[in-house]
Amino acid sequence: MNRREIDVVLNNSSEFIDMRCNSFNSKNKICFIIPEYVNKKIVEKGTKKQKEHAWKNLILTEQLRGRRLVTGLMSSMFSVSNKLDRTIFDAENSENLPGTVVRHEGGKPKGGKTVTEAYDYSGETYNFYKDIFERNSIDTRGMKLDSTVHYGEDYNNAFWNGTQMVYGDGDGEIFQRFTKSIDVIGHELTHGVTQYEAALEYEGQPGALNESFSDVLGSLVKQYALKQKADKADWLIGAGLFTNKIKGIALRSMKDPGSAYNDPTIGKDPQPGHMKNYVNTSSDNGGVHINSGIPNRAFYLTAIELGGYAWEKAGRIWYITLTERLRERSNFQKAANITYEVASTLYGRGSHEEKAVKNAWNQVGIEIKKVK
């Protein structure tokens, strides 16, 4: 696309962008941390430089979602390992994956802060799943944790493509480097866990649950690394990713959905925290990053009520729900019912844990319906 075509789009085109961005296959397994509506808002409200970065990101995202990314799956299927195995690649600001190897498992630190963060935080995520849930990597078979850093030029996103993690450096205007946030890395790697377990469709309520479970477990990865109890955690996703030019504290707040940012360039955080404010939309794959605020708050309320370390009880209930009970098309009601049933199974009928789960879902507008 030439300069004139970009200028036309930037000056006139919220409708055109909607058409382009919503033409993706909703079942595609590439999961991005930054939703399309953020870049669309930047195209409408940002400076000329910010608009150009946002438009490039939208086009690149479309190209990625249309690409068949299957490399690496076969090796995962046929190899079993019980050891952490990380490799960090450098795309050198190209869009070629995986890139050049810059650090192997056990190798000496090199490649700067971005490589170190990708290496360390993927290791923290692996350790969390192994120590807390006895899970052997993403696929339960010791899958290698490959990550590519310095992807694209000024790329404002991070994503799981079905086989590996990919991180952009941010544009320095709105976003900083995406390896900076451990919960973002935990979030994206959890998309891999979901891929191998419930395989929740990435659209509508199943897609919002897909996003929510990644937020829940990504937040628990951070809390586990910091050894924080529920009442000491910030319950933010992507804290520190924005530059100081943006009025915002994070990408999302699990404690108070809709409060993470409010800025003239990127707009206001659109997440609801209650079903009465549920957003019916065709964008963002049916609001997967938007309506995830509802189950996010349900988990937060459960964790706070139960106290202590959130991964011990609330986290275990949600993990079992994801890995053993949910299916591709499960919706919010199904998730609520199952978390309640799992709490009852683990801790007994009438237990504090069962009541906490029920009350949490009630507070976000979902009444538990007992399955006969």
Domain 73-194, what architecture?
Roll (3.10)
Question: Would you state the pLDDT for residue 43?
Answer: 77
332-347 helix and 352-363 helix, angle to the nearest 10 degrees: 170
Check 53, 150, 187, 289 and give the catalytic one.
289
Give the pLDDT confidence of 26-83 residue by residue, as tens digits: 444 577 777 777 877 887 788 878 877 776 676 666 566 554 344 444 444 445 788 9
Check 188, 201, 305, 341 and give the catalytic one.
188
Q: What residues pair up with 262 in beta bridges, in sequence order?
A: 268
Which residues does 256 contact at the CB level (< 8 Å), separation at least 6? 273, 297
Dihedral angle sign, alpha carbons of residues 291, 225, 301, 361: positive
Active-site residue flag, 188: yes
**CA torsion, ordered 169, 173, 174, 176, to nearest 10 deg:** 30
Give the pLDDT confidence of 261-293 residue by residue, as tens digits: 999 999 999 999 999 999 999 999 999 999 999
Q: Does the pLDDT value for residue 306 go beyond 50?
A: yes
Question: 163-192: b or e for each residue (b if 16 or more CB lie within 10 Å)?
Answer: bbbbbbbbbebbbbbbbbbbbbbbbbbbbb
Residue whose C-alpha is closest to residue 144's, from 80, 230, 221: 80
Q: Candidates 1.10.10.10, 3.10.28.10, 1.10.390.10, 2.170.150.20; correct CATH number of 204-363? A: 1.10.390.10
Structure tokens at 367: 């009444």
Q: Does the pLDDT value for residue 124 go beyond 50?
A: yes
Active-site residue flag, 203: no
Question: Would you state the pLDDT for residue 32?
Answer: 79
For residue 232, give the H/E element and its range.
Answer: none
Per this entry, what is the length of the chain?
Answer: 372
Residue whose C-alpha is closest to residue 196's, from 357, 26, 356, 322: 322
Question: Where are the extended beta strands (E) located within the chain?
Answer: 31-32, 86-90, 100-104, 145-149, 158-160, 165-167, 236-237, 252-253, 262-263, 267-268
Residue ranges of domains in the chain: 3-65, 73-194, 204-363
Instruction: Find out whether 123 and 86 touch, Cβ atoms under 8 Å.
Output: yes
Give the pLDDT confidence of 92-106 residue by residue, as tens digits: 999 999 999 999 999
Residues of the chain with pLDDT > 90, as a percent, come to: 76
Instruction: Find out whether 182 and 121 touch, Cβ atoms under 8 Å.
Output: yes
Q: Within its chain, how far is the Cα of 52 from the centroid?
A: 25
Instruction: Find out whether 221 and 122 touch, Cβ atoms under 8 Å.
Output: no
pLDDT-wise least confident of 42-51, 186-195, 351-360: 42-51
How many CB atoms neighbour CB 31 within 10 A?
A: 25
Widest Cα–Cα separation across the chain: 66
Instruction: Find out whether 189 and 164 touch, Cβ atoms under 8 Å.
Output: no
Instruction: Find out whether 141 and 173 touch, Cβ atoms under 8 Å.
Output: no
pTM above 0.75, yes or no: yes
Structure tokens at 138: 């993403």
Specify burial of residue 346 (Cβ count, 10 A radius: 0-12, 13-18, 19+): middle
Q: Which residue has the tokens 């944790």?
A: 145
d(C-alpha 108, C-alpha 124), whole Å: 17
